[in-house]
Structure 1
Amino acid sequence: MRAALGLTLLMMLAACEGGGDPVQQALRDTAAANHSAATPETAEVDHSAHAPASGPTPGDRAFAASEAAMHAGMATASGETIDEAYIAKMIEHHRGAVAMADVALARSTDPEVRRMAQGVKDAQTREIAEMQVWKPAGR
């Protein structure tokens, strides 16, 4: 911290001696240092590593319909107020979670995944019912 402060003070003094604005000179120096430190790897981020190289996997395809239905439902769910829109969109989001849990329950053979999927289905179904009976305050 002291070294950085000292360097900043030296830069400000040098800028003053040259007649320039020390803050502007410090900003220019920092920008130049940041620019020279950027490598091609950090200058542009390649997001392709996050996507499967050969397209959707069998696991991805198993959830495609439930994901599409959830996104379509959320896109069309609306409300007059933030509260109403939130409830409408979250109901659709939870329905998507239940549909994905159903896929896992139907196709997974892992007992832990099945346990988690059943827990998600139970909790989300309960929360959907809770949100469906919600009424805005004052109504």
Structure 2
Amino acid sequence: MRATLIALPLLVLAACEGGGDPVQQALRDASAERHAATVVDGQVSGPDHAAMGHGPATPGAGDAAFAASEAAMHTGMAAASGDTVDEAYIAKMIAHHEGAIEMARVALAKSQDPEVRRMAQAVIDAQTVEIAEMRAWKPAAN
């Protein structure tokens, strides 16, 4: 009985991770399409995130602090590429993680909340390690 209780969540996770249910895959694909952004002349455009429930209709005062780092991240991700899916994934994730680090640096510089500052430092620490791992994987010929 205990083995069944342990194995069941693993089977559920495996089904989700490996593509599994075609309906779930279609939902993931549709979500990726909705969230795709295009960078034109350094400006990010794409779906209306507020209309999709991903943010306020009117940016708050705190949003301005992150505008430059967000734009740079999206520009970097759009510019990152690779000859294979693997290489493109690594390049885009490096740009994504670099953006997360820049946003965390903004939070460290401007936040007074100790918990936010702790989380921001944790992001910097973790993402720095992950970037190093991804760069180590990336073929030397690039």
Which TM-score applies when normalising by structure 1? 0.59
From 40, 64, 67, the equivalent of 1:64 is 67
Say whether residues 1:84 and 2:69 are aligned partners: no
Cα distance in 2 for partners of 1:48, 1:89 equals 24
Cα distance in 2 for partners of 1:108, 1:100 equals 11
Moved over 3 A (4+): 48-53
**Structure 2 counterpart of 1:96:** 99
Q: CA deviation at 1:126?
A: 0.8
Question: How has the CA–CA distance of structure 1 residues 132 and 51 changed in structure 2, closer, same or farther, with 3 Å as cutoff?
Answer: closer
**Structure 1 counterpart of 2:119:** 116
Q: CA RMSD in A?
A: 2.0
Question: More strand by proportion, 1 or 2?
Answer: 2
Cα distance in 2 for partners of 1:52, 1:81 equals 36
**3-state SS, counterpart of residue 59 of structure 2:** coil
Q: Residues 1-139 of structure 1 correspond to what in structure 2 (within 5 A)?
A: 47=51, 52-53=56-57, 55-135=58-138
Which TM-score applies when normalising by structure 2? 0.58
Question: More helix by proportion, 1 or 2?
Answer: 1
**3-state SS, counterpart of residue 113 of structure 1:** helix
Question: How has the CA–CA distance of structure 1 residues 82 and 103 changed in structure 2, closer, same or farther, with 3 Å as cutoff?
Answer: same
> If you compute each CA radius of gyration, which structure gives the higher value, 1 or 2?
1
The count of residues paired between Structure 1 and Structure 2 equals 90
- Unaligned segments of structure 2, at least 5 residues: 1-49
Q: Structure 1, residues 6-34: CA drift from partner, whole Å, max 9, x if none?
A: xxxxxxxxxxxxxxxxxxxxxxxxxxxxx
- Unaligned segments of structure 1, at least 5 residues: 1-45
**3-state SS, counterpart of residue 109 of structure 1:** coil
Cα distance in 1 for partners of 2:138, 2:53 equals 45
